[in-house]
Amino acid sequence: MVESIARVRHIRVTPQKARRVVALIKGKQAEEALAILKFAQQSASEPIYKLVASAIANARVKADAAGEFFDEQDLFVKNAFVDEGTTLKRFQPRAQGRAFQIKKRTSHITVVLATPEVAETAPAQSKKASK
């Protein structure tokens, strides 16, 4: 019955590289996702690891505030996505007085963790609303 969201903004990882890592953990159990990210070789796996750990902590706090039973083993990655952040534009000198533009891209990463009960009840509520 718990759903938690964690976001990180302006991470200095290109969105294309971060999406490759996020695709590894979609739909997995939260603990399994942490294990995958811990041993992934991509540089984007470190901030995403911290983000999933933060989402687990957010779920724990949310369950404590609501007085609900909480078990980390039940959490799974319901949704995870990467949006493009601001692009830092830098210039590098080139031959004959020219300048070459370097685009340093950033990412906004969002991870949504949920327990199976939330995932099953959410579509049922949307069906009732559409009738």
pLDDT along the chain (131 residues), means of 10: 90 96 94 95 95 95 89 92 96 95 96 79 56 54
pLDDT at 71: 87
Task: Report d(CA 96, CA 65) in Å as an integer.
Answer: 64
pLDDT at 70: 85
Task: Report d(CA 111, CA 80) in Å as an integer.
Answer: 4
Q: DSSP letter at 28? A: S
Task: Report d(CA 74, CA 41) in Å as an integer.
Answer: 27
pLDDT at 42: 94
